[in-house]
Amino acid sequence: MRIFEVHKKSGVSDSHIAIKFKGRVYTYGEVDALIDKYASYFQSIGVKKGDRVALSFPNCPEYIFSFMGASKAGAIVVPLNMMLTLEEIGYIIMESGTSVLVVHPAIAQKVDKSQLARLNLKNVVIMDENTVNEILKMKSPAPVDIESGEVCAFLYTSGTTGKPKGAMLTHDNFVSDVKMLYDVSRVIDLGPNDNFLTVLPLFHSFSWTVNVLLGLYLGSTITLKETFMPKDTLETLIQEDITVFCGVPSMFAVLMRMAEKGQFKALRLAISGGAPLAAEVQRGFEEKFNFPLVEGYGLSEAAPVALLNPLDPKALRKPGSIGFPLPGVEAKIVDENDNELPVGEIGELVLKGPNVMVGYHNMPEETAKTLRNGWLHTGDLAKKDEDGYFYIVDRLKDMIITGGFNVYPREIEEVLLTHPAVLEAAVVGVGDPLKGEEIKAFIVLKEGAEADRRELQSFLKDKIASYKIPKYFEFVKELPKTPTGKVNKKLLKQM
């Protein structure tokens, strides 16, 4: 099965509602027809099998149709994080070999056309009303021979070198993850009567796989929102008979404070991912609303879900745990020599399964290091208890997860070091009850130089995405070092 076929599996009628967005309703029959029309449109502008098509959209149905349509035309889709700067997007476009960029009109208005012209794109499509009307006139696309094992998308994830890595995911990777989630969901009979509220950005693999692909595979309804707005989300959860809500921990913390007991009459499942879920948030949420808040674990390289707590309300869910591997996924804890560790010992979490990527685009050394001995090395430190539940303990690398987004300190440090007043910079994550972590920068200024928090934040504004800009700055005379001369970030986190 290819991803543009997942909506056909459920067998629901063509008149069943697939997507709701701003008062507009799309049935399963319309979705099927629109995927064909978008595929035909991409073919009409010269997209051929293997071409890269990048998408930059807020949440909207056109993103789904563009992704599915481009895939059906044989393209490899490159979802773009809307929060990246044009410089960061430019790197991804060039590295991926993207030839067609499809953008929402709201984003197109903010784009510097002269910079865009330097990206060697064959075509830039503004998905405005005129383009949509043109697409609606399209006929059936020419058939393209696409094997399920072929690459479907490049999902770019931040790298420790400061440059994003393009995880190459096949149709099989995505569909396998969906099928495994479907098998797990059978215990609570998710299906056509369910309504998934989607506020997480669709460019995020968690949202794309769990909300869109799984939702369509089940024959459910997907209620789309452009973004997470606490009051609007609360009202939608109550008024739209939402039954499934996927979010990051900070969203559940906010909703727990805002909502009253008994307000979520239809909601029966909440899934948290993207960052560690605080045990007190999970306990408080479940006690207040009397339905499960289930934590899982995933990463882009695994399409993304790999482990999940039981969905059955009667089953044991251990606060702080990421649960069990999905059926079909293998997980174990290993030491630095890749030897499996016994119960309770901390080591690196490694994974194996049909959802694991085929590698990183144009990065054979990174691929060999990450897909070592047939296992995906996650870079996360974890442990397993005597009941088989897994727990994330820390990260091998210094990655910060803030509000569900992965941030690598070195990328920020390298930009800070280009400021004329900065001699040394070290970035760490500090605990935050809403976002999981906030970003803090320790700065050593050059002798006689001056700079403050506002100046450095302003300096970073056009160079990195807003969510990567440190909230806190501490100016110090020197950074603590290890005997080998490396910055001791463990000590920094304690300062």
Amino acid (1-letter code) at residue 192: P
Rg (Cα) of the chain, in Å, rounded? Answer: 23
Q: What is the DSSP letter of 33?
A: H
Give CA separation, 117 vs 53, 60, 80, 108, 269, in Å.
16, 26, 18, 13, 46
Map tokens 């006139």 to a residue.
137
Instruction: Please return the burial class of 287, using the count of CB atoms within 10 Å of its CB with bins 0-12, 13-18 and 19+.
Output: exposed
Task: Read off the tokens for 326.
Answer: 């999905």
- Can you give the pTM of this predicted structure? 0.86
Q: Which pLDDT score, from 0 to 100, does residue 84 have?
A: 85
Give CA separation, 353 vs 178, 186, 206, 330, 495, in Å.
13, 20, 17, 6, 41
> 56: closest CA among 98, 27, 28, 19?
98
Contact status, residue 187 vs residue 312, Cβ threshold 8 Å? yes
Q: Which pLDDT score, from 0 to 100, does residue 300 have?
A: 95
Contacts of 343 (CB under 8 A, 6+ apart): 384, 385, 386
Please list the helix, strand and coil fractions of the chain in percent, rounded to the nearest 5, in that order: 35, 25, 40
| pLDDT band for position 168 (cuts 50, 70, 90) | very high
> 328: closest CA among 177, 451, 187?
177
Range with lowest mean pLDDT among 76-80, 273-277, 317-321, 364-368? 273-277
Q: Which pLDDT score, from 0 to 100, does residue 87 have?
A: 85
Contact status, residue 23 vs residue 232, Cβ threshold 8 Å? no
Amino acid (1-letter code) at residue 366: E
Q: Which pLDDT score, from 0 to 100, does residue 396 have?
A: 67
| pLDDT band for position 160 (cuts 50, 70, 90) | very low
Provide the residue ranges of all domains of the chain, joining segments of one domain with +. Answer: 3-298, 400-494
Task: Read off the tokens for 422.
Answer: 């900065």
Q: Across the beta sheet with 436-445, what order do the strands follow?
A: 422-432, 436-445, 472-475
Q: Which pLDDT score, from 0 to 100, does residue 484 have?
A: 45
DSSP string spanning 182-239?
A: HHHHGGGT-STT-EEEE-S-TTSHHIIIIIIIHHHHHT-EEEE-SS--HHHHHHHHHH
Q: Are strands 472-475 and 436-445 parallel, antiparallel or unpaired?
A: parallel
**SS3 of 42, please?**
helix
Contact status, residue 390 vs residue 323, Cβ threshold 8 Å? yes
Contacts of 325 (CB under 8 A, 6+ apart): 306, 307, 331, 351, 353, 390
Map tokens 């990260």 to a residue.
395
Range with lowest mean pLDDT among 151-160, 303-312, 375-384, 459-468? 151-160
Contact status, residue 278 vs residue 401, Cβ threshold 8 Å? no
Q: What is the DSSP letter of 11?
A: -
H helix intervals, 240-343: 249-258, 279-289
Share of the chain above pLDDT 90, in %: 75
Can you give the length of the chain in residues?
495
Question: pLDDT tens digit string along 170-228?
Answer: 999 999 999 999 999 999 999 999 999 999 999 999 999 999 999 999 999 999 999 99
Kindly give the interhelix angle for 453-461 and 409-416, rounded to the nearest 10 degrees. Answer: 100
**SS3 of 18, please?**
strand
Mean pLDDT (whole number) for 334-350: 95
Mean pLDDT (whole number) for 140-158: 95
400-494: CATH topology: GMP Synthetase; Chain A, domain 3 (3.30.300)
Contact status, residue 72 vs residue 1, Cβ threshold 8 Å? no
Task: Read off the tokens for 252.
Answer: 């559940």
Q: Which pLDDT score, from 0 to 100, does residue 162 have?
A: 59
Beta strands in 305-357 (DSSP E): 305-308, 324-325, 330-334, 347-352
| pLDDT band for position 150 (cuts 50, 70, 90) | very high
Residue 172 CA from chain centroid, whole number:
18
> 209: closest CA among 322, 328, 301?
301
pLDDT above 90: residue 120: no
Distance CA 119, CA 54 (A): 12
3-298: CATH, from 3.40.30.10, 3.30.300.30, 3.40.1390.10, 3.40.50.12780: 3.40.50.12780
Mean pLDDT (whole number) for 310-320: 88
Question: pLDDT tens digit string along 398-449?
Answer: 778 888 887 878 789 889 989 999 998 999 999 888 888 999 999 999 999 9
Contact status, residue 440 vs residue 400, Cβ threshold 8 Å? no
Please, what is the average pLDDT of the chain? 93
Mean pLDDT (whole number) for 154-167: 79
Distance CA 71, CA 69 (A): 5
Distance CA 232, CA 119 (A): 38
> 454: closest CA among 439, 468, 440, 472?
472
Distance CA 108, CA 113 (A): 9
CA dihedral sign of residues 74, 78, 79, 82: negative
Amino acid (1-letter code) at residue 174: F
